Amino acid sequence: WSNGTPDITKRVIITGNYTVNADISACSIEVLLGATMTVTSNATITLQNGLTVDALALPNSVVFESGTSLIQNSTSNTANSGSIRYVRNSTDIIQYDYTYWSSPVDNQIIKNFSPNTNNARFYTHDSSPGVYAWAVVPSVTTHIMAAANGYIIRAPAGHPAGTPWPGEFYGRPRNGSYSINVFDNGLVAGIEQNRNLLGNPYPSAI
């Protein structure tokens, strides 16, 4: 570093290839074209403001490996620009297993997230009155995973049994406040219809 160790008051500019393997804080981070930043070892990056990745950067220029986090104190949904690759490993799965997922980035097309899953095996839960049922995600090749919405996706065809699957999200990391409708339909035929499938919209634990 040219100006001492980063802290929450300092703007950080990445001009080369940098690996984050321990927690760091910064006012903001900018990753220039041709540079890379890889976050490993369950490290957390805490930013007061935004993460900027050059618009012409390659898809793997900024990578957050499974178990790592990006936490931002800014409440703006537009604090970030550019795209990252964010990895989340599932638990060990076998053929026909389903895993719950939610996208921590904008503009993630659901089929691109799991291209080897059968098109009819992407679901969300429609909790609206009069429906209250699992719903197949329509047009999976164009459907963008909505912020804070939960999805259930079957294991990809050919995945080795009893191993985790590394789900990879590509897009602008989400930040700020999100809202989603939640329904409680009360008792229907003696059964309480109050389940909603929500998801974590952030590239960190909540």
DSSP per position, 85-147? EEEEE---B-TT-EEEE--SBTT-BHHHHSTTS-GGGEEEEE-STTT-EEEEPSSTTTPBPPT
Q: What is the pLDDT along the chain (206 residues), one digit of tens a residue?
A: 899 999 999 999 999 999 999 999 999 999 999 999 999 999 999 999 999 999 999 999 999 999 999 999 998 899 999 999 999 999 999 989 999 999 999 999 999 999 999 999 999 999 999 999 999 999 999 999 999 999 999 999 999 999 999 999 999 999 999 999 999 999 999 999 999 999 999 999 88
